[in-house]
Structure 1
Amino acid sequence: MRKVRVRLRPLVSKINLPTVLKTAILPGDYIERLFIATQVGEIFYIGDGVIRTFLDIRSRILKLGTSEQGVSGGGYDERGLLGLAFHPDFYDNGLFYLHYSVAGTQGPGALSEPFKPNPCDPQTLNLRWINRETQYDHIDTVEEWILQSNGQPQKRRTLLNLRRPFFNHNGVNSLNFSPETGNLVLTTGDGGSGYDPFNLSQNDMEIAGKIIEIDVTKNIFISNPPVVSRFDELPIPIQETLTVIAKGVRNIPGISFQRFYNEYIKYVGNVGQDLVESIFSFVQYKPIPVIQLTQASLMKSKPNLEGFINFGWRGWEGAFPTSFIRRCSLNPALDEKTIAYFNEAISSSAKRIEPLTSYFHKDQRPDKFGGTALTGVQAYAGNRIPNLTGSVVFTDLAKHTASKSPVRGVLAYTRVSSDCKLNDFSVIETDHHFGTQSAYYVSLGTNLLQTRLYLGVYGSIKVTDFNQGTVFEIVP
């Protein structure tokens, strides 16, 4: 693939960790402005070269960087303000949507100790999430807000309240509108820990590990929906607003749509476990109404899943059976890889879709890189960077390296392969010098026409290390 070199043009600096970067035109305005949502609960927009506050919900956000499980202690966290989406008619109706972790909902977590599957011990392969009302980590909410005529945002209603088993894998950039259906798309992670202990991602009745469409045109007149983790726990009027696009999700930095003649290519990144990060693409799919899933469950029958998208997790990590990795005792320079869920890998092998491209956590090839975690996937339709036109651009949190040099994230790209085989990818070189400061690439965004790209960088892995963020525009 062609070598691409770009420049990073700083737009704003010394902000908190940016989780969402997207543009919108404010009602009554005439300029498309970049909006930046931070993990701690702020939403800014850039106008006339000045950064202004659009909304501040820090008081509504769960206290970040600490956990009763101790897992997220030390400042690292995957909760907070994770999703922001503007209604397609935002300019006229002022509607926008938020996904965040709710203040005061900290629980003890679903397991008292870290989970690791043991292929020789069926008990570890068949765990169930029990006592959910008390054994959970936190509650996430999806809300509809409106920008009032006086310029002040106000909450209108709650769409979903989701009980989450662990602090991690809640998704990020988790709300986007589908240009195909006009529905709000919610991308949820598998609930966290590691290896999906309860196999929530493959269970059709679990909300975790899915891509879900919400028809926001339906007003269900339920002011405070119940806190749930399963579709069949939802009131029927809410079930009737939901369809499921895909399952088998581990964790996901949103969904991106690329127009291709009269259709849209959907790009989805699935964050890996120990081996590989993967990006999937699909055009045709058959969404399943949640009411159909719950009725099938009630009748103890199997729903028709033909055309339904399955990314394969937890049996598959991208194009490979999920494995856990240990140092080889005979040769420390090599790794021993053991398939974690052999039977699940076999049973789901024909039901899943193959990734468009994958990159490994360890890769010695000179033109590749070893990654850590996928943090953004965006289609690019602009022509300012000609070699990227029509491609899908992605970011990794931190390049894997044996040296002690400062941390650097990675920018890369791939294209849809005409033969549907696993495609190659190429690193996008940047000219920016971060000096001795760490530079984690935490988010990737575009404007409405996908002709501009924006990159969120943070100087620390800890959300409690404040004001270390910079947002760049990626330019020629």
Structure 2
Amino acid sequence: MKHKIVLQIFVLLGLLLPLPSTTHGQDAPQYQWVELINVFDNPLYITNAGDGSGRLFVVEQYGYVLILDQDMNLLPEPFLDVTAQMPADVSQGGYTERGLIGLVFHPDFENNGIFFVHYVRYDNKAIIERYKVSADNPNVADPRSATVIFSADDPFPNHNGGQLAFGPDGYLYVGIGDGGDLGDPLGNGQNTKTPFGKLLRIDINNTDTYTVPTDNPFVGNPDFLPEIWAYGFRNPWRFSFDRETGDLYIGDVGEASWEEIDYQPAGSPGGQNYGWNAYEGNHRFSETTPVPEDMTLPIAEYSHNEGCSVTGGYVYRGQAIPELQGKYFFGDYCNGGVWMTSKVTDGVWVTVNQGYLGRQISSFGEDEQGELYMVDYKGIILRLERVD
């Protein structure tokens, strides 16, 4: 079992979320999440295309991808509409984990116009689909270009994962939850022959679907799916790569008592087992599941006294707040709690609670400059800004 020293510091700083500063001898600058726009229906994600346009793309659970231009104006026409593929419960109100849940742009999107979406369809099938932008309008996708590259029959309607991200190696990483219900009844987290409860790594270049990178950790091992990059997850809803270092941070949603942030350093060969359902965070969960000898413990955790559903975020790499460089932000969907964690020495992480916003944090996101955004499921986009 790989141990990490995790120090938790709780600094309750109010609803405006001023962050601690390293400035001494003068009034310290403060930072807060500033509301930019409140027009969306159940937004789940925000991201940029990396094409120099300054646009931000907002994913709505109902099946729309919408565009905010560089002046934060909402364009009237959806970039993508997959509402016909959505389950009925997505549009009926109430809580559901299905629908359109992920979006990522190809690293060379500026030239090839390719992007990918992740959704759970009306028949409870998880779909990853490739699209191309319209040749006539850069603000609209070409629906005729839709190609399913991956699908899996979810055993239950929850714990679907959702995140798609390209790593610094150019491969596509896919987060898939354990398939749902309580306690991982099918044992998917530790079942190495299923995609559920896993982080997959696939090569989407030069093929209609995908191939498996030859350096994936379990290629050639008959006991593992070759797509598996890491396993032992309950629901890796949001994960991200540090755009500067390539380190990987994974927010894995807990069940009974604990939420966790998992970590994989840049250059890792993969293959980590993060413990679910033998462990939840740093704590024993299922006594009937053997403790994995090679389990990797989280770098940060918090109990259900402080929240109930972690939303993984990003390492701040923007220019507006240089003193926050290298700090990883994450939050909680249930109460809007926000935390900041960073490694102080090898194997030692310090996590600081930044306060509680009372928002339903469904995602964080970055613009092209590395500034951080927050998605409130109630329809709001916010940005982390300095307040002097």
Corresponding residue of 2:384: 474
Q: Specify the structure having the higher radius of gyration (Cα).
A: 1
Name the CA distance, whole Å, in 2 between partners of 1:221 and 1:145.
12
Percent identity (aligned): 29
Question: What do the CA deviations read for 1:8-38 (whole angstroms, capped 9, x no partner)?
Answer: 2222213111111111255xxx432111001
- 1:168 pairs, out of 158, 165, 174, with 158
Check whether the contact 1:6–1:428 (CA below 8 A) recurs between aligned residues. no
- 1:217 pairs, out of 205, 208, 222, with 205
Question: What do the CA deviations read for 1:69-112 (whole angstroms, capped 9, x no partner)?
Answer: xxxx9710001001100000001000000111123x1xxxxxxx
Question: What do the CA deviations read for 1:365-422 (whole angstroms, capped 9, x no partner)?
Answer: xxxxx111002321112242344220110010123xxxxxxxxx1121110242414x
* TM-score, normalised relative to structure 1: 0.67
Q: Please say which of residues 149-158 and 372-381 is displaced more in the overlay.
A: 149-158
Q: Please say which of residues 275-284 and 148-157 is displaced more in the overlay.
A: 148-157
Q: Is 1:440 paired with 2:332?
A: no
Corresponding residue of 1:424: 350
Q: Is 1:344 paired with 2:289?
A: yes
Any stretches of 5+ residues in structure 1 without a counterpart? 67-72, 106-137, 223-230, 232-238, 288-307, 323-340, 363-369, 400-408, 433-437, 460-468
Corresponding residue of 1:303: none
Shift of the alpha carbon at 1:39? 0.8
Name the CA distance, whole Å, in 1 between partners of 2:57 and 2:93.
29
Check whether the contact 2:86–2:121 (CA below 8 A) recurs between aligned residues. yes
Any stretches of 5+ residues in structure 2 without a counterpart? 1-8, 12-18, 21-29, 211-217, 219-224
Q: Secondary structure at the match of 1:91?
A: helix
* TM-score, normalised relative to structure 2: 0.81
Shift of the alpha carbon at 1:311? 0.5
Which structure 2 residues correspond to residues 304-315 of structure 1 after superposition, within 5 A?
Answer: 308-315=271-278
Corresponding residue of 1:49: 72
Which structure 2 residues correspond to residues 116-195 of structure 1 after superposition, within 5 A?
Answer: 138-151=124-137, 152-154=140-142, 155-172=145-162, 174-179=163-168, 181-195=169-183
Corresponding residue of 1:371: 307
Amino acid at match of 2:383: E
Amino acid at match of 2:166: F
Check whether the contact 1:176–1:186 (CA below 8 A) recurs between aligned residues. yes
Check whether the contact 1:39–1:82 (CA below 8 A) recurs between aligned residues. yes
- 1:270 pairs, out of 252, 258, 281, with 252
Q: Secondary structure at the match of 1:100?
A: strand
Q: Is 1:36 paired with 2:58?
A: yes
Corresponding residue of 2:242: 258
Shift of the alpha carbon at 1:220? 4.7
- 1:318 pairs, out of 272, 276, 281, with 281
Corresponding residue of 1:114: none
Check whether the contact 1:255–1:266 (CA below 8 A) recurs between aligned residues. yes
Name the CA distance, whole Å, in 2 between partners of 1:280 and 1:439.
23
Name the CA distance, whole Å, in 1 between partners of 2:287 and 2:337.
32
Shift of the alpha carbon at 1:7? 2.2
Name the CA distance, whole Å, in 1 between partners of 2:247 and 2:342.
11
Amino acid at match of 2:241: F
Corresponding residue of 1:389: 325
CA 1:457–1:156: 2 relative to 1, 3 Å: closer
CA 1:221–1:395: 2 relative to 1, 3 Å: closer
Name the CA distance, whole Å, in 1 between partners of 2:64 and 2:317.
29
Check whether the contact 1:253–1:377 (CA below 8 A) recurs between aligned residues. no
Amino acid at match of 1:84: L
Name the CA distance, whole Å, in 2 between partners of 1:202 and 1:269.
18
Instruction: Say what the alpha-carbon RMSD is for the aligned residues.
Output: 2.5
Check whether the contact 2:149–2:209 (CA below 8 A) recurs between aligned residues. no
Check whether the contact 1:245–1:285 (CA below 8 A) recurs between aligned residues. no
Name the CA distance, whole Å, in 1 between partners of 2:183 and 2:367.
35
Check whether the contact 1:375–1:395 (CA below 8 A) recurs between aligned residues. yes
Q: Secondary structure at the match of 1:415?
A: strand
Amino acid at match of 2:112: N
Shift of the alpha carbon at 1:259? 4.9
Q: Secondary structure at the match of 1:64?
A: helix
CA 1:244–1:32: 2 relative to 1, 3 Å: same
Q: Secondary structure at the match of 1:384?
A: coil
Name the CA distance, whole Å, in 2 between partners of 1:375 and 1:258.
16
Question: What do the CA deviations read for 1:205-246 (whole angstroms, capped 9, x no partner)?
Answer: 111001011211141579xxxxxxxx9xxxxxxx8xx63210
